[in-house]
Amino acid sequence: MGTERGMTTGEGLGPLRSLGPVDWVRRNLLSSPLQILWTLLAVGMILWVFPPILRWAFIDASWSGETRQDCTGDGACWVFIKVRLAQFIYGFYPEAERWRVNVTFLLLCGLGAPLLFPRFPKRLWIGAVLLLVYPMVGALLLNGGVSGLPRVETSLWGGLMLTLVIAGVGIVASFPMGVVLALGRRSAMPVIRALCIAFIELVRGVPLITILFMASVMLPMFLPEGVNFDKLLRALVGVALFAAAYMAEVVRGGLQAIPRGQYEAAQALGLGYWKMMGLIILPQALRIVIPGIVNTFIGLFKDTTLVLIIGLFDLLGIVQAATSDPNWLGYTKESYVFAGLVFWVFCFGMSRFSVVLEGRLRVNGKGV
């Protein structure tokens, strides 16, 4: 391909020669009349669409101040977002206790960051702590009620913090459940297989809203008097089960891509079922389906917004609620742009992480 391109401009210097900026423009934007036309159209579109957006979001926007009256320009009123930012992040979590949310988040960053570097020492241990110990510490910190920490009811949780809690628990819980369900669906034991298929097809065929609604409204009706699960806990279980069904199908796709010879070689060496799966089959299968897994996680992250239906205020929910504040009526645009941007940052981060992970594993396991 490289040589072909070189030939169109009459310089066959080989495919790997890097291009100067002028050359690049000439080759990629202006190489034929049709391409020139497309380039002009594209530039026209950009000039037509972007200036108004930039003007609204930055040039004419109001940034400083405390009240509605400070929003004088024709552009966006970011003052509104600024004033409400703490609520968007912490929900109704008491102001004096917000440090607990911060500590929980910082702990997550501190434990998670080393895992991004393949050569960091003791990564396995850090990962184990993150998966096994951290959730309990986080739950104790946020929930309180022990060792001097006042209890903060989950009904006060909200905003970005709630979104992250639901998405985080959903991701961490749905992954192993999905793997087990996928293995179960391919099991040789008919009862296990039937149970897994039934669960997956049932959960997958129902909207998340339905599951959340049932978990929130119908579950208490079947529980004995006095037994009462926390509303957030019910939402967490609902989200995790829902994501697990999707995860199971993604993982199953990976399992099906592994040739039979891999199973046979593992068996012929005397490995039992769990060792064969854990050491040979799953490491290869999961690697193949990283894009699908991350896709499911991103979907799950955005689906957390549906918890609004059972009266939990996630980031989008609380932003939406703020727009109906009589002091700040009419600033829905800013709210949704802000919420969209925050969601995008997290989802794009996950997407990039998936790309990095794929690249790293491909270098290691060339043959896969």
Partner 1 sequence: MDKVGTGETRTESDRPMIRMEGVHKWYGEFHVLRDINLTIHRGERMVVCGPSGSGKSTMIRCMNRLEEHQRGRIVVDGVELTNDLKDIEQIRREVGMVFQQFNLFPHLTIMKNLCLAPTWVRKMPRLEAQEIAMNYLERVRIPEQAHKYPGQLSGGQQQRVAIARSLCMNPKIMLFDEPTSALDPEMIKEVLDVIVGLAEDGMTMVVVTHEMGFARTMANRMMFMDGGEVIEENTTQEFFDQPKSERTKSFLSQILSH
Contact residues: partner 1, CB under 8 A: 259, 261-262, 264-272, 275, 279-280, 283-284, 287, 364-368
Of 244, 258, 96, 115, which is closest to residue 184 (Cα–Cα)?
Answer: 244
Of 243, 229, 77, 237, which is closest to residue 171 (Cα–Cα)?
Answer: 243
Of 269, 293, 270, which is closest to residue 282 (Cα–Cα)?
Answer: 293
CB of 361 to partner 1, least distance (A): 8
3-state SS assignment for residue 310: helix
Place of tokens 């996630």: 314
CB of 269 to partner 1, least distance (A): 4
Place of tokens 């004995």: 224
Provide CB contacts within 8 A for 247, sequence distance 6+: 174, 175, 177, 178, 179, 181, 182, 293, 296
Q: Specify whether the CB–CB gap between 295 and 353 falls below 8 A.
A: no
CB of 130 to partner 1, least distance (A): 23
CB of 67 to partner 1, least distance (A): 60
Q: What are phi and psi of 197, to 5 degrees?
A: -60, -45
CB of 352 to partner 1, least distance (A): 23
